[in-house]
Amino acid sequence: MAQDVAQEPVADEVRGLFELMYGTCKAQVVRAFVLLDLAGALAGGPLRPDELVVRLNSHAGATASFVRACAALGLVRLEPDGRIAVTSLGGKLGTGAPAAAHVRYLLGPGVTRAYEHMKDVVLRGRSGGEVHGQHLFDYLGDHPDEGSAYENVMSEFTADCLAGLLTAHDFSGYRRMVDVGGGKGDLLCHVLSAAPQATGTLYDLPHVIELARDAVAAGVPDDVASRLEFAPGNFLESVPGGADLYLLKSVLIDWSDEHVARILATIHRTAPEGSTLLVIDWFGPDTAEEVAADPSMALRDFFVRTIVGGRYRSRREFEAALTNAGFTVERVISAFATGPSHWGLLVARR
Ligand SMILES: C[S@@+](CC[C@H](N)C(=O)[O-])C[C@H]1O[C@@H](n2cnc3c(N)ncnc32)[C@H](O)[C@@H]1O
């Protein structure tokens, strides 16, 4: 009896482990749900299994099994008459929905291939991409579906902090801005609309600049779009010159200390003396107490290391990186907007 009692927690732990191991399968069911656009197929109302098979042009037995798995995850509901209905949760994963972009990027091979190399990430201190031979950003350039999903996810993060940023910093005095690694241009377009005197250059990898051109043409008013230039390039090598404001948002987190030093040195080399560099990024914990207060940070940090070789940095680490690169840090705001972690802002002078 005493032995049974002693064994019970162990059995629970093992059950928990199996849950973890099946996590990959569950996540990929969600991805298949998105790739097959089951939410779209069921948007017009519940379908009989044979109707769904025709709609998906799929295998009947495998579809029935997949639908049961989706029901187990709460993405669809099986009606008493056997028809399949999309649930409220499943409905949030339709094509074009923000959550579907997260799924396409986070559960796509660009990220999951890196996970397969976690052991070597630990042993070698390199990202999964470096271990298997293709950095995530190169992969995203070769895979437009995941590449545009990634940039959509980044735009969503930007939307989280825009209002706070525009309140925290006065953009009215700048003449020419460069957004370094600016993605689809959400940040720069919003800053330009708050600073009607300024022009801006969006600088990113060539495939992202193409996405940005389309996004700006489709949704940015002319008075902002007419003040915006696009510049494809590689910030590890060069950045556009002649600006009085350089923006660097959610970029440094993706890079190792060596790469961070190189990116900052590149900007320092080119930015005119007296120009401003704004670093906007997620701040990691500074103290052991802060680490203990946010256990999910540990997983997010290892995620970033694995997929791109970057890491979360504390306010002090950002300040040190900027100072070492030759910038003078004039102002730091530790939490100017809320989010999954703290949005930090550093204002530095070249
Ligand atoms: C995390 S995203 C941030 C995008 C944008 N700043 C934002 O906050 O939404 C990082 C960006 O850096 C860009 N990037 C990565 N490597 C780059 C490089 N070598 N040169 C220029 N841009 C690069 C990516 O394409 C991506 O748009």
Amino acid residing at 33: F
Ligand 1 contact via 234 beta carbon (within 6 Å): yes
ipTM of the complex: 0.99
Q: What is the pLDDT of residue 8?
A: 65
Strand partners, 199: 176
The span from the CA of 325 to the CA of 261, in Å, is 7
Ligand 1 contact via 137 beta carbon (within 6 Å): yes
* Centroid of ligand 1 to alpha carbon of 252 (angstroms): 9
Q: What is the pLDDT of residue 179?
A: 98
Mean pLDDT by 10 residues, the chain (350 residues): 57 85 96 98 97 98 98 97 97 94 96 96 94 93 93 87 90 96 95 95 96 92 95 97 96 96 98 97 83 82 95 94 98 77 90
Strand partners, 342: 283
Look at strands 328-337 and 342-349 and give their pairing: antiparallel
Amino acid residing at 24: T
Q: What is the pLDDT of residue 13?
A: 79
Q: What is the pLDDT of residue 265?
A: 98
Q: What is the pLDDT of residue 297?
A: 84
Continuous H helices in the chain: 2-35, 38-41, 49-56, 60-72, 88-91, 98-106, 109-115, 118-124, 128-132, 136-142, 144-168, 186-194, 206-219, 222-225, 257-270, 288-293, 296-308, 315-324
Model confidence, pTM = 0.89
* Centroid of ligand 1 to alpha carbon of 120 (angstroms): 25
Out of 148, 205, 210, give the residue to mutate to test ligand 1, the one with the largest number of ligand atoms within 8 Å of its CB: 205
Q: Whose CA is nearest to atom 10 of ligand 1?
A: 251
